[in-house]
Structure 1
Amino acid sequence: MKILSALGRVRAQKGRGLYVADDEGMLGSSRWGGFFLPTDLDHVYMLFEFRRVQEAAASRLAAGRATPAELRAIEAAAETCREGHVTGQRELFDRGDDDFHLSIAIASHNPLLVESVREARRLQRQSSTIGLHGTVGGHAEEAVVEHAAIYQAIRDGDPEAAAGAACAHLDNTLEDYRREIQRRLFG
Protein backbone atom coordinates (compact mmCIF):
# COMPACT_ATOMS: atom_id res chain seq x y z
CA MET A 1 0.00 0.00 0.00
CA LYS A 2 2.83 2.38 0.83
CA ILE A 3 4.37 2.01 -2.63
CA LEU A 4 0.98 2.39 -4.35
CA SER A 5 0.34 5.52 -2.31
CA ALA A 6 3.77 6.94 -3.22
CA LEU A 7 3.04 6.25 -6.88
CA GLY A 8 -0.24 8.17 -6.59
CA ARG A 9 -2.28 5.04 -7.30
CA VAL A 10 -4.19 4.73 -4.03
CA ARG A 11 -5.74 7.14 -1.57
CA ALA A 12 -7.75 6.84 1.60
CA GLN A 13 -10.95 8.76 2.18
CA LYS A 14 -11.93 8.98 5.82
CA GLY A 15 -15.02 6.88 6.43
CA ARG A 16 -15.16 5.71 2.81
CA GLY A 17 -12.20 3.36 2.42
CA LEU A 18 -9.37 3.03 -0.05
CA TYR A 19 -9.57 4.02 -3.71
CA VAL A 20 -7.20 2.64 -6.32
CA ALA A 21 -6.58 4.71 -9.44
CA ASP A 22 -7.12 3.26 -12.88
CA ASP A 23 -4.60 3.68 -15.69
CA GLU A 24 -5.96 7.12 -16.49
CA GLY A 25 -5.20 8.17 -12.92
CA MET A 26 -8.38 8.66 -10.90
CA LEU A 27 -6.19 10.67 -8.56
CA GLY A 28 -4.94 12.86 -11.36
CA SER A 29 -2.62 11.54 -14.00
CA SER A 30 1.05 12.17 -13.53
CA ARG A 31 2.43 14.51 -16.12
CA TRP A 32 5.73 12.66 -16.09
CA GLY A 33 4.49 9.23 -15.06
CA GLY A 34 5.11 7.74 -18.48
CA PHE A 35 8.68 8.99 -18.49
CA PHE A 36 9.96 8.91 -14.91
CA LEU A 37 11.09 5.58 -13.49
CA PRO A 38 11.70 5.96 -9.75
CA THR A 39 14.03 2.94 -9.70
CA ASP A 40 16.28 4.22 -12.51
CA LEU A 41 19.23 6.10 -10.98
CA ASP A 42 19.70 8.18 -14.13
CA HIS A 43 16.10 9.37 -13.81
CA VAL A 44 16.57 10.13 -10.13
CA TYR A 45 19.69 12.18 -10.92
CA MET A 46 17.81 14.03 -13.68
CA LEU A 47 15.07 14.78 -11.16
CA PHE A 48 17.62 16.32 -8.79
CA GLU A 49 19.00 18.35 -11.69
CA PHE A 50 15.50 19.59 -12.51
CA ARG A 51 14.72 20.34 -8.86
CA ARG A 52 17.92 22.38 -8.60
CA VAL A 53 16.82 24.62 -11.47
CA GLN A 54 13.23 25.03 -10.34
CA GLU A 55 13.98 25.54 -6.65
CA ALA A 56 16.67 28.12 -7.42
CA ALA A 57 14.16 29.99 -9.58
CA ALA A 58 11.41 29.74 -6.97
CA SER A 59 13.75 30.96 -4.21
CA ARG A 60 15.05 33.81 -6.35
CA LEU A 61 11.49 34.97 -7.13
CA ALA A 62 10.27 34.47 -3.56
CA ALA A 63 13.04 36.77 -2.30
CA GLY A 64 11.44 39.60 -4.25
CA ARG A 65 7.77 38.67 -3.96
CA ALA A 66 7.05 36.94 -0.64
CA THR A 67 4.39 38.54 1.52
CA PRO A 68 4.72 38.64 5.31
CA ALA A 69 2.22 35.76 5.58
CA GLU A 70 4.21 33.71 3.06
CA LEU A 71 7.42 34.40 4.98
CA ARG A 72 5.73 33.13 8.15
CA ALA A 73 4.64 29.97 6.30
CA ILE A 74 8.20 29.33 5.08
CA GLU A 75 9.58 29.93 8.57
CA ALA A 76 6.96 27.66 10.17
CA ALA A 77 7.74 24.87 7.71
CA ALA A 78 11.47 25.20 8.42
CA GLU A 79 10.70 25.00 12.14
CA THR A 80 8.60 21.86 11.58
CA CYS A 81 11.60 20.27 9.85
CA ARG A 82 13.86 21.23 12.72
CA GLU A 83 11.42 19.86 15.29
CA GLY A 84 11.06 16.62 13.33
CA HIS A 85 14.83 16.22 13.23
CA VAL A 86 15.42 17.07 16.90
CA THR A 87 12.66 14.73 18.10
CA GLY A 88 13.50 11.96 15.64
CA GLN A 89 10.04 12.08 14.05
CA ARG A 90 10.77 11.33 10.39
CA GLU A 91 7.16 11.92 9.27
CA LEU A 92 7.15 15.37 10.90
CA PHE A 93 10.46 16.22 9.24
CA ASP A 94 9.16 15.04 5.86
CA ARG A 95 5.93 17.04 6.21
CA GLY A 96 7.90 20.15 7.12
CA ASP A 97 10.28 19.55 4.21
CA ASP A 98 7.41 19.27 1.73
CA ASP A 99 5.72 22.36 3.21
CA PHE A 100 8.99 24.30 3.13
CA HIS A 101 9.66 23.74 -0.55
CA LEU A 102 6.04 24.25 -1.54
CA SER A 103 5.77 27.44 0.55
CA ILE A 104 8.74 28.90 -1.29
CA ALA A 105 7.15 28.04 -4.63
CA ILE A 106 3.90 29.67 -3.50
CA ALA A 107 5.85 32.77 -2.44
CA SER A 108 7.30 32.96 -5.96
CA HIS A 109 3.78 33.89 -7.14
CA ASN A 110 4.29 31.69 -10.20
CA PRO A 111 1.63 28.95 -10.48
CA LEU A 112 3.76 26.98 -12.94
CA LEU A 113 6.58 26.78 -10.41
CA VAL A 114 4.11 25.76 -7.71
CA GLU A 115 2.83 22.85 -9.80
CA SER A 116 6.28 21.79 -10.97
CA VAL A 117 7.64 21.82 -7.40
CA ARG A 118 4.63 19.83 -6.22
CA GLU A 119 5.10 17.25 -8.99
CA ALA A 120 8.88 17.00 -8.52
CA ARG A 121 8.42 16.46 -4.78
CA ARG A 122 5.90 13.70 -5.53
CA LEU A 123 8.36 11.99 -7.86
CA GLN A 124 11.12 12.41 -5.27
CA ARG A 125 8.93 10.65 -2.68
CA GLN A 126 8.42 7.77 -5.14
CA SER A 127 12.12 7.23 -5.61
CA SER A 128 12.78 7.52 -1.87
CA THR A 129 9.98 5.14 -0.92
CA ILE A 130 10.86 2.55 -3.53
CA GLY A 131 14.62 2.91 -3.63
CA LEU A 132 15.48 3.92 -0.09
CA HIS A 133 12.43 2.73 1.84
CA GLY A 134 11.44 6.24 2.87
CA THR A 135 14.84 7.39 4.08
CA VAL A 136 17.36 9.73 2.56
CA GLY A 137 20.49 9.11 4.57
CA GLY A 138 21.60 11.39 7.35
CA HIS A 139 21.16 14.76 5.69
CA ALA A 140 18.37 15.97 8.00
CA GLU A 141 20.65 17.93 10.33
CA GLU A 142 22.34 19.71 7.43
CA ALA A 143 18.99 20.27 5.71
CA VAL A 144 17.73 22.14 8.78
CA VAL A 145 20.70 24.52 8.55
CA GLU A 146 20.32 24.84 4.76
CA HIS A 147 16.60 25.58 5.07
CA ALA A 148 17.42 28.34 7.56
CA ALA A 149 19.89 29.87 5.08
CA ILE A 150 17.32 29.78 2.27
CA TYR A 151 14.67 31.32 4.50
CA GLN A 152 17.02 34.09 5.70
CA ALA A 153 17.98 35.03 2.15
CA ILE A 154 14.32 35.15 1.09
CA ARG A 155 13.39 37.14 4.21
CA ASP A 156 16.28 39.55 3.55
CA GLY A 157 15.09 40.04 -0.04
CA ASP A 158 18.36 38.77 -1.53
CA PRO A 159 17.44 36.83 -4.70
CA GLU A 160 20.95 35.64 -5.55
CA ALA A 161 21.70 34.45 -2.02
CA ALA A 162 18.34 32.65 -1.95
CA ALA A 163 19.02 30.91 -5.26
CA GLY A 164 22.57 30.04 -4.18
CA ALA A 165 21.36 28.59 -0.88
CA ALA A 166 18.70 26.54 -2.70
CA CYS A 167 21.31 25.18 -5.13
CA ALA A 168 23.66 24.29 -2.27
CA HIS A 169 20.80 22.51 -0.49
CA LEU A 170 19.89 20.44 -3.57
CA ASP A 171 23.55 19.65 -4.29
CA ASN A 172 24.07 18.44 -0.73
CA THR A 173 20.85 16.43 -0.77
CA LEU A 174 21.90 14.75 -4.02
CA GLU A 175 25.33 13.98 -2.60
CA ASP A 176 23.70 12.41 0.45
CA TYR A 177 21.43 10.37 -1.82
CA ARG A 178 24.47 9.15 -3.79
CA ARG A 179 26.31 8.18 -0.60
CA GLU A 180 23.29 6.23 0.61
CA ILE A 181 23.02 4.38 -2.73
CA GLN A 182 26.76 3.57 -2.58
CA ARG A 183 26.42 2.33 0.99
CA ARG A 184 23.52 0.06 0.06
CA LEU A 185 25.23 -1.29 -3.03
CA PHE A 186 28.72 -1.77 -1.65
CA GLY A 187 28.22 -1.90 2.11
Structure 2
Amino acid sequence: MGDSTQAAGRGDDATSTSHPYRPGYELVAEQLLNYIAQENLRPGDRLPTEQGLAQILGATRNVTREAVKVLAAIGRLNVRRGAGIFVAASVSGLLDDELSHFRPTSMEDVHMLLDYRKVIESETARRAASLATPIEVRAIRESAETTLTAATENDVDTFAKADAAFHDSVGAASHNVFLRSSVAGVRRLAAQSDVLLFHGDLPGSLEVAARQHLAVAEAVAAGAADLAERLMVEHIATTQSQFEKKIRDRLFNPGGDKIL
Protein backbone atom coordinates (compact mmCIF):
# COMPACT_ATOMS: atom_id res chain seq x y z
CA MET A 1 0.00 0.00 0.00
CA GLY A 2 2.78 2.39 0.92
CA ASP A 3 4.69 2.71 -2.38
CA SER A 4 1.90 4.18 -4.50
CA THR A 5 0.69 6.50 -1.78
CA GLN A 6 4.18 7.70 -0.97
CA ALA A 7 4.42 8.87 -4.54
CA ALA A 8 1.01 10.46 -4.23
CA GLY A 9 1.88 12.27 -1.05
CA ARG A 10 4.95 14.15 -2.20
CA GLY A 11 4.57 17.86 -2.61
CA ASP A 12 1.16 18.15 -0.97
CA ASP A 13 -1.03 18.86 -4.03
CA ALA A 14 1.39 17.48 -6.59
CA THR A 15 0.41 14.47 -8.62
CA SER A 16 2.35 11.25 -8.45
CA THR A 17 4.85 10.23 -11.11
CA SER A 18 3.17 6.83 -11.49
CA HIS A 19 -0.27 8.47 -11.84
CA PRO A 20 0.58 11.85 -13.43
CA TYR A 21 -3.05 12.70 -14.16
CA ARG A 22 -4.57 12.18 -10.69
CA PRO A 23 -4.02 14.52 -7.72
CA GLY A 24 -2.29 13.15 -4.64
CA TYR A 25 -5.28 13.58 -2.31
CA GLU A 26 -7.43 11.50 -4.64
CA LEU A 27 -4.97 8.62 -4.60
CA VAL A 28 -4.64 8.79 -0.83
CA ALA A 29 -8.45 8.83 -0.47
CA GLU A 30 -8.55 5.65 -2.53
CA GLN A 31 -5.83 4.06 -0.40
CA LEU A 32 -7.63 5.09 2.78
CA LEU A 33 -10.79 3.32 1.63
CA ASN A 34 -8.69 0.24 0.93
CA TYR A 35 -7.20 0.50 4.43
CA ILE A 36 -10.68 0.62 5.98
CA ALA A 37 -11.65 -2.52 4.04
CA GLN A 38 -8.42 -4.38 4.82
CA GLU A 39 -8.74 -3.63 8.52
CA ASN A 40 -12.43 -4.62 8.34
CA LEU A 41 -13.44 -1.37 10.03
CA ARG A 42 -17.16 -0.84 10.47
CA PRO A 43 -19.39 2.22 10.81
CA GLY A 44 -18.58 3.95 14.06
CA ASP A 45 -15.03 2.55 14.29
CA ARG A 46 -12.38 5.11 15.03
CA LEU A 47 -9.44 5.64 12.69
CA PRO A 48 -5.95 6.82 13.61
CA THR A 49 -5.26 10.54 13.67
CA GLU A 50 -4.38 12.41 10.49
CA GLN A 51 -0.72 12.08 11.41
CA GLY A 52 -1.15 8.39 12.10
CA LEU A 53 -2.96 7.83 8.80
CA ALA A 54 -0.27 9.77 6.97
CA GLN A 55 2.36 7.44 8.40
CA ILE A 56 0.33 4.32 7.60
CA LEU A 57 -0.34 5.43 4.04
CA GLY A 58 3.10 6.89 3.41
CA ALA A 59 1.67 10.30 2.51
CA THR A 60 2.18 13.84 3.78
CA ARG A 61 -0.13 15.12 6.45
CA ASN A 62 -1.49 17.88 4.20
CA VAL A 63 -2.46 15.43 1.46
CA THR A 64 -3.95 13.09 4.05
CA ARG A 65 -6.01 15.95 5.48
CA GLU A 66 -7.39 16.75 2.01
CA ALA A 67 -8.21 13.07 1.45
CA VAL A 68 -10.09 12.94 4.76
CA LYS A 69 -12.04 16.08 3.81
CA VAL A 70 -13.10 14.57 0.49
CA LEU A 71 -14.18 11.29 2.09
CA ALA A 72 -16.09 13.19 4.77
CA ALA A 73 -17.81 15.26 2.07
CA ILE A 74 -19.08 12.15 0.27
CA GLY A 75 -20.23 10.57 3.51
CA ARG A 76 -17.58 7.89 4.01
CA LEU A 77 -15.93 9.41 7.07
CA ASN A 78 -17.24 11.31 10.06
CA VAL A 79 -14.82 13.86 11.50
CA ARG A 80 -15.72 14.97 15.01
CA ARG A 81 -13.82 17.92 16.39
CA GLY A 82 -11.95 16.90 19.51
CA ALA A 83 -13.01 13.26 19.13
CA GLY A 84 -11.31 11.98 15.99
CA ILE A 85 -12.01 10.42 12.62
CA PHE A 86 -14.61 7.66 12.35
CA VAL A 87 -16.01 5.40 9.65
CA ALA A 88 -19.37 6.94 8.78
CA ALA A 89 -22.68 5.13 9.02
CA SER A 90 -24.09 3.32 6.00
CA VAL A 91 -25.57 5.48 3.27
CA SER A 92 -28.96 4.00 4.11
CA GLY A 93 -30.27 2.37 7.23
CA LEU A 94 -31.64 -0.38 4.98
CA LEU A 95 -28.23 -1.20 3.49
CA ASP A 96 -25.78 -3.58 5.08
CA ASP A 97 -22.74 -2.15 6.83
CA GLU A 98 -20.60 -4.12 4.37
CA LEU A 99 -21.23 -1.23 1.98
CA SER A 100 -18.98 0.87 4.19
CA HIS A 101 -16.25 -0.95 2.21
CA PHE A 102 -17.57 0.11 -1.20
CA ARG A 103 -14.67 1.38 -3.31
CA PRO A 104 -15.95 4.09 -5.69
CA THR A 105 -12.81 3.95 -7.85
CA SER A 106 -12.81 0.16 -8.22
CA MET A 107 -14.00 -1.22 -11.56
CA GLU A 108 -15.19 -4.38 -9.79
CA ASP A 109 -17.23 -2.53 -7.18
CA VAL A 110 -18.75 -0.12 -9.70
CA HIS A 111 -19.69 -3.06 -11.94
CA MET A 112 -21.47 -4.78 -9.04
CA LEU A 113 -23.23 -1.55 -8.14
CA LEU A 114 -24.57 -1.05 -11.65
CA ASP A 115 -25.55 -4.71 -11.89
CA TYR A 116 -27.58 -4.21 -8.70
CA ARG A 117 -29.16 -1.11 -10.23
CA LYS A 118 -30.35 -3.21 -13.18
CA VAL A 119 -32.08 -5.62 -10.82
CA ILE A 120 -33.71 -2.96 -8.64
CA GLU A 121 -34.58 -0.30 -11.20
CA SER A 122 -35.90 -2.69 -13.82
CA GLU A 123 -38.44 -3.83 -11.24
CA THR A 124 -39.35 -0.27 -10.25
CA ALA A 125 -39.92 0.56 -13.95
CA ARG A 126 -42.10 -2.53 -14.41
CA ARG A 127 -44.20 -1.68 -11.39
CA ALA A 128 -44.39 2.00 -12.31
CA ALA A 129 -45.84 1.06 -15.70
CA SER A 130 -48.54 -0.93 -13.93
CA LEU A 131 -49.22 1.30 -10.94
CA ALA A 132 -48.33 4.92 -11.72
CA THR A 133 -51.03 7.51 -11.24
CA PRO A 134 -51.48 10.32 -13.81
CA ILE A 135 -49.64 12.72 -11.49
CA GLU A 136 -46.74 10.28 -11.15
CA VAL A 137 -46.61 9.72 -14.91
CA ARG A 138 -46.41 13.48 -15.40
CA ALA A 139 -43.56 13.76 -12.88
CA ILE A 140 -41.62 11.01 -14.65
CA ARG A 141 -42.17 12.56 -18.08
CA GLU A 142 -41.35 16.12 -16.96
CA SER A 143 -38.09 15.07 -15.29
CA ALA A 144 -37.14 13.08 -18.41
CA GLU A 145 -37.86 16.09 -20.63
CA THR A 146 -35.76 18.29 -18.35
CA THR A 147 -32.81 15.92 -18.72
CA LEU A 148 -33.05 16.25 -22.51
CA THR A 149 -33.20 20.04 -22.38
CA ALA A 150 -30.22 20.13 -20.03
CA ALA A 151 -28.33 17.68 -22.25
CA THR A 152 -28.81 19.78 -25.39
CA GLU A 153 -27.56 22.82 -23.45
CA ASN A 154 -24.70 20.81 -21.89
CA ASP A 155 -25.93 21.91 -18.47
CA VAL A 156 -24.40 19.18 -16.30
CA ASP A 157 -25.73 20.47 -12.98
CA THR A 158 -29.33 20.71 -14.17
CA PHE A 159 -29.04 17.33 -15.88
CA ALA A 160 -27.77 15.70 -12.68
CA LYS A 161 -30.69 17.08 -10.64
CA ALA A 162 -33.26 16.09 -13.26
CA ASP A 163 -31.65 12.66 -13.63
CA ALA A 164 -32.01 12.08 -9.90
CA ALA A 165 -35.61 13.32 -10.03
CA PHE A 166 -36.40 10.96 -12.91
CA HIS A 167 -35.13 7.84 -11.17
CA ASP A 168 -36.74 8.87 -7.90
CA SER A 169 -40.04 9.51 -9.67
CA VAL A 170 -39.97 6.04 -11.20
CA GLY A 171 -39.18 4.62 -7.77
CA ALA A 172 -42.08 6.53 -6.22
CA ALA A 173 -44.44 5.24 -8.92
CA SER A 174 -43.54 1.65 -8.02
CA HIS A 175 -45.54 2.22 -4.82
CA ASN A 176 -42.98 0.31 -2.78
CA VAL A 177 -41.05 2.32 -0.23
CA PHE A 178 -38.31 -0.31 -0.01
CA LEU A 179 -37.67 -0.28 -3.74
CA ARG A 180 -37.64 3.52 -3.76
CA SER A 181 -35.24 3.61 -0.82
CA SER A 182 -32.96 1.07 -2.50
CA VAL A 183 -32.82 3.18 -5.66
CA ALA A 184 -31.94 6.28 -3.63
CA GLY A 185 -29.29 4.45 -1.61
CA VAL A 186 -27.55 2.89 -4.57
CA ARG A 187 -27.49 6.22 -6.42
CA ARG A 188 -25.82 7.86 -3.42
CA LEU A 189 -23.08 5.26 -3.68
CA ALA A 190 -22.71 5.97 -7.40
CA ALA A 191 -22.38 9.68 -6.60
CA GLN A 192 -19.22 8.88 -4.63
CA SER A 193 -17.57 7.77 -7.88
CA ASP A 194 -18.74 10.99 -9.54
CA VAL A 195 -16.92 13.02 -6.90
CA LEU A 196 -13.72 10.96 -6.60
CA LEU A 197 -13.21 10.15 -10.26
CA PHE A 198 -15.13 12.72 -12.26
CA HIS A 199 -15.22 15.73 -9.94
CA GLY A 200 -18.95 16.14 -10.46
CA ASP A 201 -18.76 15.57 -14.23
CA LEU A 202 -20.95 12.80 -15.64
CA PRO A 203 -19.61 9.92 -17.72
CA GLY A 204 -20.91 9.29 -21.21
CA SER A 205 -23.37 11.11 -23.43
CA LEU A 206 -26.00 13.14 -21.61
CA GLU A 207 -28.24 13.22 -24.67
CA VAL A 208 -28.21 9.42 -25.05
CA ALA A 209 -29.18 9.04 -21.40
CA ALA A 210 -31.91 11.68 -21.71
CA ARG A 211 -33.50 10.01 -24.72
CA GLN A 212 -33.48 6.72 -22.84
CA HIS A 213 -35.23 8.48 -19.96
CA LEU A 214 -37.91 9.66 -22.38
CA ALA A 215 -38.36 6.17 -23.79
CA VAL A 216 -38.86 4.75 -20.29
CA ALA A 217 -41.29 7.57 -19.47
CA GLU A 218 -43.39 6.83 -22.56
CA ALA A 219 -43.45 3.10 -21.75
CA VAL A 220 -44.63 3.88 -18.23
CA ALA A 221 -47.28 6.27 -19.58
CA ALA A 222 -48.50 3.55 -21.97
CA GLY A 223 -48.67 0.97 -19.19
CA ALA A 224 -46.20 -1.25 -21.08
CA ALA A 225 -44.59 -3.05 -18.15
CA ASP A 226 -42.37 -5.43 -20.14
CA LEU A 227 -41.13 -2.62 -22.35
CA ALA A 228 -40.47 -0.29 -19.40
CA GLU A 229 -38.46 -3.03 -17.69
CA ARG A 230 -36.39 -3.76 -20.80
CA LEU A 231 -35.74 -0.10 -21.54
CA MET A 232 -34.56 0.55 -17.98
CA VAL A 233 -32.14 -2.40 -18.19
CA GLU A 234 -30.82 -1.04 -21.50
CA HIS A 235 -30.47 2.42 -19.98
CA ILE A 236 -28.40 1.21 -17.04
CA ALA A 237 -26.37 -1.09 -19.31
CA THR A 238 -25.49 1.95 -21.42
CA THR A 239 -24.57 3.86 -18.27
CA GLN A 240 -22.43 0.93 -17.18
CA SER A 241 -20.47 0.73 -20.44
CA GLN A 242 -19.95 4.51 -20.43
CA PHE A 243 -18.92 4.48 -16.79
CA GLU A 244 -16.45 1.65 -17.23
CA LYS A 245 -14.91 3.31 -20.28
CA LYS A 246 -14.55 6.52 -18.32
CA ILE A 247 -12.83 4.70 -15.46
CA ARG A 248 -10.43 3.00 -17.88
CA ASP A 249 -9.64 6.30 -19.56
CA ARG A 250 -9.14 8.11 -16.27
CA LEU A 251 -7.10 5.44 -14.49
CA PHE A 252 -5.26 3.48 -17.14
CA ASN A 253 -4.88 5.65 -20.23
CA PRO A 254 -2.33 8.46 -19.85
CA GLY A 255 -3.58 9.92 -23.11
CA GLY A 256 -7.18 10.12 -21.92
CA ASP A 257 -8.98 12.85 -20.07
CA LYS A 258 -6.93 14.12 -17.16
CA ILE A 259 -8.10 14.70 -13.64
CA LEU A 260 -6.52 17.96 -12.59
- TM-score, normalised to structure 1, is 0.85
Other-structure match for 1:92 = 158
Other-structure match for 2:193 = 127
Change (3 A) 1:111 1:182: same
2-structure distance, mates of 1:80, 1:99: 10
Aligned pair partner of 1:31 in 85, 91, 95:
95
Q: How many aligned positions are there?
A: 177
Whether the 8 Å CA contact 2:77–2:88 is kept in 1: the answer is no
1:75 Cα deviation (Å)?
1.1
Farther off after superposition, 79-88 or 40-49: 79-88
1:26 Cα deviation (Å)?
10
2-structure distance, mates of 1:118, 1:70: 17
Identity percentage of aligned residues: 31
Q: Kindly indicate whether residue 133 of structure 2 is the aligned counterpart of residue 71 of structure 1.
A: no
Q: CA RMSD in A?
A: 2.3
1-structure distance, mates of 2:245, 2:200: 15
Stretches of structure 2 that go unaligned for 5 or more consecutive residues are 1-68, 79-84, 256-260
2-structure distance, mates of 1:154, 1:34: 34
Larger radius of gyration: 2
Whether the 8 Å CA contact 1:83–1:92 is kept in 2: the answer is no
Aligned pair partner of 2:209 in 135, 139, 143:
143
Other-structure match for 1:48 = 114
Farther off after superposition, 124-133 or 64-73: 124-133
Counterpart code for 2:183: V
Aligned pair partner of 1:7 in 75, 79, 83:
75
- How do 1:96-115 residues align onto structure 2 when only pairs under 5 Å count? 96-115=162-181
Q: Higher relative contact order at CA 8 Å, sep ≥6: structure 1 or structure 2?
A: 1
Q: Kindly indicate whether residue 227 of structure 2 is the aligned counterpart of residue 161 of structure 1.
A: yes
Change (3 A) 1:40 1:30: farther
Other-structure match for 1:14 = none
Whether the 8 Å CA contact 1:6–1:126 is kept in 2: the answer is yes
1:164 Cα deviation (Å)?
0.4
1-structure distance, mates of 2:237, 2:209: 11
2-structure distance, mates of 1:57, 1:92: 26
2-structure distance, mates of 1:29, 1:65: 26
